[in-house]
Amino acid sequence: MKKLLTLLLAAIMVLSTLTIGITAADANAPKDYVPVDAADTTRYNAASKWDGTVYTVTELSKAYTFEGAGTKESPWLIKSADDLAKLSANVRFSNETTNYEGKYFKLTCDINMQHKEWWGIGGCFIDGVKWGADASKANLEMFAGVFLGDSHVIYNFNLAGKSADGKYMCANGLFGYAGKGAEIHDLGIVNGDISMTNASRIGALIGASRYDLTVKNCFNRANLTFVYEAGVKCSDNRAPEARVGGLMGAVMNDNTTERNIENCYNSGNVTVTLAEGIAEYAVGGIAGYLSDGLDNIFTNCVNTGTITVNANHGAAPNGGRITCVASLVGNFPWNGFYSFIDCKAGGAIVYNNTNAEASGMKIASFVGFIPSATALTFKGTNEYSVVIDPDVALGNHSTVADGKVTKVDAITLTYKDNYFMGEAPAEEETTTPEPETTTAEPETTTAPEDETTKKADVTTAPEGDETTAAGGSTTEKEGCGSTVSMSALFVLLLIGGVAAICARKAKKENA
């Protein structure tokens, strides 16, 4: 009997240890997206899953092909996560044919990245081989086409921090490098926990851009964490610089170009931590760094994510024009003209500099730095709710915003569905009459619809539980609970078995 009890106790201890180990591993794992309702669950489950395969193109004749003709009328179709990875490989090949200038692509499905490390569509490495050392080749490695997202989304997003041979990424995002007339429409990143180290130009949607760029009806909800370590140089052996944005990292110089960013939002949190002495950084929710250009127009753009910067440096160089933090755009450091139309700066700004001699940084709600008072125009209703000290909309030339940017209690986002922002009145007018014309039909099918609804409620009850838990740490507890229940089941079965053996033995002894 004592041996059996000893065996039982040992088994319980082993299973308890196993449970704790599994629970700890689950706590550190990336968190999958949790759908908000039954329809969202169906959509999420139908998304094309990426298995993490990174393709490489070594010669033009071996570039991957897609269904369609690449025209506006017949765009090349991206029908799976695998297709998107192949497009990325083609653009990285760095050829004037595969930067797709003037060509059209259309995404036909949602994509689940499964937290695999994504190599951007276009991009470059920090050693300067394709960025600074040969700028003409770098410009071939940008995506210059038109990408129609068709209101599809990306789930469980993550970015690669290094190449296969260990080089740090210089620019990375879903589109690592885009420009020369590139357009990205109707595309969103729903969730993700992106962690980058020693990169330079990082944004969830676009890492870096040069020349003309249009981004419309796009969003990012993924959280981005960026760390710049000591002793790492940027391309061309320049001083370390961090240009980080929730939606876009660095939108760079050319005095003849135009950028239009319209109906876009970021609600992901951006956290930047810099090694001692690094004083060149531009961090924002919509864009980190945006320079030059004849027209840079932001229309109906909103940030509600928290922007956090942890630094340790003294006086900011260059009058603070390259040491900036803001809710919408970190800085406009050089020449150009910039407009905000009906934009909103929300969320929060958390700035920490542990150096007692720190000075000259430009921390603001709207834009950290603009080159001159005449370079910035406000139109429509522009608002901010960010609480900073001193309370300024612009890091310099703050009086430009007086009467043109209004302080409000809070900035909130509204959606036309679970994902995309707002709803056009034209859509409401066309969709409202439809139920009236079909009122009679649902009456004849009321019972089947109710039954379907009930079935959906039954099958999605666990999803609803997970959705409720998504607001806090309950999600982890729920996952842990299922793990504990499984282990507890084994323990109970073992206890039952041992108890039965003990009962038999006692019965024999009594007999």
SS (H, E, C) 268-297: CCEEEEECCCCCCEEEECCEEEECCCCEEE
| 58-72, 310-324, 411-425: range with lowest mean pLDDT | 411-425
Angstrom distances, CA of residue 319 to CA of 141, 323, 359, 372:
33, 8, 10, 13
CA distance 144 to 209: 10
What does the pLDDT read at residue 372?
73
What does the pLDDT read at residue 500?
60
Span 54-103, pLDDT tens digits:
998 989 989 999 999 999 999 999 999 999 999 999 998 877 788 899 99
Average pLDDT over residues 182-188: 97
Give the residue extent of every domain in the chain. Answer: 2-25+470-510, 35-413, 433-469
Higher pLDDT, 345 or 466: 345
Q: Of 234, 350, 351, 209, which Cα lies nearest the Cα of 290?
A: 209
Span 384-417, pLDDT tens digits:
998 787 777 777 666 667 778 889 999 989 898 8
Q: Is residue 125's pLDDT more than 60?
A: no
Q: How confident is the model at residue 45 (pLDDT cuts 50, 70, 90)?
A: very high
Angstrom distances, CA of residue 394 to CA of 249, 254, 293, 400:
19, 23, 20, 8
Average pLDDT over residues 229-254: 77
Q: How confident is the model at residue 479 (pLDDT cuts 50, 70, 90)?
A: very low
